[in-house]
Amino acid sequence: MPGELSPIDKAKFVAAKRACDYVEDGMRVGLGTGSTAAWLVRCLGEMVREEGLKIRGVPTSTRTAELAREVGIEVISLDEAKWLDVTIDGADEFDADLNLIKGGGGALLQEKIVATASDQMVVIADVGKEVGQLGAFPLPVEVIPFGWQTTRALVEETLISMDVLGRDVSLRMNGEVPFVTDEGNHILDLHLNRIGNARQLAMVLNQMPGVVENGLFIDICDAVIIGYGDGRVEVRDINAGTVETDKLDFLESDNLFSDLLD
């Protein structure tokens, strides 16, 4: 239960709980992927079962779809939904302008498609995900399997002219074999340390043959909810230019999340 969670998981939980305020009856909701987004799915499932909330969820990965169905959320495809009221997802990094690095869980392509097909994108994160400048977290780039080594060489060559500190590029592995995304692609992780011009890098990467999408989310996020280990939450809305703070109490009797795995 929340009272027994580590500080980092408490931070994720309160951010997810606060994000539920953005969801109203009848909405079509994009459901993110990752440990923080899993807290959100559990919280929304509780509202569906106990409060009669009626929503339709569009998941950004097969594992999110499985969890959503497990907790009682109606799952539909993006083609069925056509457009979404809100997408709520985590992030691997975010900066002061709410630009993001996403894709640590390997779902960046579907996450970006769903996020951009929404009236609003809300990011939920623990305070450790905030950075002064993007790039400490490896930047994922989804590439097609055909000729991926050539694509990697092109990426490495291009990084020479980019404003970055590091240029190491590695193929993401799943044990002894390459990691495969839900769309059947591979992921190159770019170890850049610092990204001086994220907008430029995102545009250049996506112009390369073989690159499907990159994990830089520029001008997509509308608000970020930052969770702290003591139950505090901070909500930054970049469009309204507002910052709100609140604190959520942990209920010792609430054991809904005791079996949630990261």
**Residue 3 reports pLDDT greater than 60:** no
The predicted pLDDT at position 256 comes to 52
Assign residue 91 the CATH number of its domain: 3.40.50.1360
Give a yes or no: residue 80 inside a domain. Answer: yes
The predicted pLDDT at position 251 comes to 55
Q: Is 35 annotated as a binding residue?
A: yes
How many domains, the chain?
2
Q: Indicate the average pLDDT of the chain.
A: 94
Q: Is 223 annotated as a binding residue?
A: no
Domain co-membership, 171 together with 242: no
**Residue 260 reports pLDDT greater than 50:** no
Q: What crossing angle do the helices spanning 148-159 and 198-206 adopt, rounded to 10°?
A: 150
Domain co-membership, 230 together with 144: no
How much of the chain, in percent, has pLDDT values that exceed 90?
92
Q: Is 45 annotated as a binding residue?
A: no
Domain co-membership, 38 together with 120: yes
Local confidence band at 249 (pLDDT 50, 70, 90 cut-offs): confident
pLDDT in tens, 58-110: 999 999 999 999 999 999 999 999 999 999 999 999 999 999 999 999 999 99
**Residue 259 reports pLDDT greater than 60:** no
The predicted pLDDT at position 98 comes to 98
| Amino acid, single-letter form, for residue 141 | V
The predicted pLDDT at position 215 comes to 98
Domain co-membership, 47 together with 120: yes
**Residue 203 reports pLDDT greater than 80:** yes
Residues in the chain: 262
pLDDT in tens, 31-49: 999 999 999 999 999 999 9
Q: What is the pTM of this model?
A: 0.93
Would you name the residues annotated as active-site residues?
111
Assign residue 204 the CATH number of its domain: 3.30.70.260
pLDDT in tens, 131-152: 999 999 999 999 999 999 999 9
Q: Is 104 annotated as a binding residue?
A: yes
Q: Is 92 annotated as a binding residue?
A: yes
Q: Is 135 annotated as a binding residue?
A: no
Q: Is 33 annotated as a binding residue?
A: yes
Domain that holds residue 148: 139-216
Among residues 35, 31, 33, the alpha carbon closest in space to that of 45 is found at 31
Domain co-membership, 91 together with 190: no
**Residue 188 reports pLDDT greater than 70:** yes
Q: Is 91 annotated as a binding residue?
A: yes
Domain co-membership, 73 together with 155: no
Domain co-membership, 103 together with 85: yes
